[in-house]
Amino acid sequence: MNTAIILAAGNSNRFGGNIPKQFIRIKNRLLIDFSISTFEKIKNIDKIIIVVSKQYYGMMIKEYPKHTIVLGGKTRKQSSHNGLLSCDKNTKKVLLHDSARPLVTKDLINNCIDVLDDYNAVTLAISVNDTIAKVKNSSIIKIDDRETLRAMQTPQGFNFTKIRNAHIEDKKNYTDDIQLMLNSNYDCKFIEGDEINFKVTTKNDFILLTEYLKNDK
């Protein structure tokens, strides 16, 4: 079986406000509902696990009785770890998705699932528009050729047993799961993501999202 884990236990420090961004209402729906309903339409996904904080646990159980609701942790790494520990033992492929990426498409999800026939780890990625520099204090340390850089998106897909074991063994913190698999020396593949699959991180991203949804039924 294949499982999707939707991560929604963050508290949106960069976004600000009283309600975590994934639980803001837009077009009369929770922001998280956009990605959940897209995953619900994927034939090859048998189970959806939603990782949330204590505060939203009761609400989410009521809202999504068909899905498994799990408590997250302080960091994204801990939240995805908890999601992985709640997967059925028969899980073969697992996809981890940021609930803060509401406009993920069926095609992007299916492309990740397909790559997992041949590889253990895959992420969506897009080219970067800005020059990216490694910095320390107020100095530039290194600038790589932009053509060799990609920005990571989600979903990120994995062989279930391999990522679960990598999570159990590696205690370091990472901002996403592909980084953890890379540090466990797996061959990590990337496929083309999409600008529309941006992560709502700041208020400006929310304005962009509102704009995208304007002409949607």
Q: How far is the CB of 18 from ligand CTP (least distance, A)?
A: 13
For position 79 contacting ligand CTP by CB under 6 A, the verdict is: yes
Instruction: Indicate the SS3 state at residue 205.
Output: helix
Question: DSSP characters for 167-193?
Answer: HHH--S--SSHHHHHHHTT--EEEEE-
Q: How far is the CB of 117 from ligand CTP (least distance, A)?
A: 27
Q: How many angstroms separate the first and last alpha carbons of the chain?
A: 33
Q: What part of residues 17-36 is at the interface with ligand CTP (CB under 6 A)? A: 22
For position 99 contacting ligand CTP by CB under 6 A, the verdict is: yes
Size of the site for ligand CTP (CB under 6 A): 22
Binding ligand CTP (rule: CB under 6 A), the pick from 76, 93, 164, 167 is 76
Calculate the CA 96 to chain-centre distance: 5
Sheet holding 93-98, edge to edge: 68-71, 47-52, 2-8, 93-98, 150-159, 121-127, 188-192
Of 94-102, 112-120, 135-143, 182-190: span binding ligand CTP (CB under 6 A): 94-102
- Mention every residue, 6+ apart, whose C-beta is less than 8 A from residue 184: 166, 169, 170
Beta strands 139-143 and 133-136, pairing class: antiparallel
For position 134 contacting ligand CTP by CB under 6 A, the verdict is: no
For position 14 contacting ligand CTP by CB under 6 A, the verdict is: yes
For position 146 contacting ligand CTP by CB under 6 A, the verdict is: no
Of 55-63, 97-105, 111-119, 186-194: span binding ligand CTP (CB under 6 A): 97-105
For position 151 contacting ligand CTP by CB under 6 A, the verdict is: no
| Residue ranges in contact with ligand CTP by CB under 6 A | 7-15, 22, 51, 72-76, 79, 98-100, 199, 201
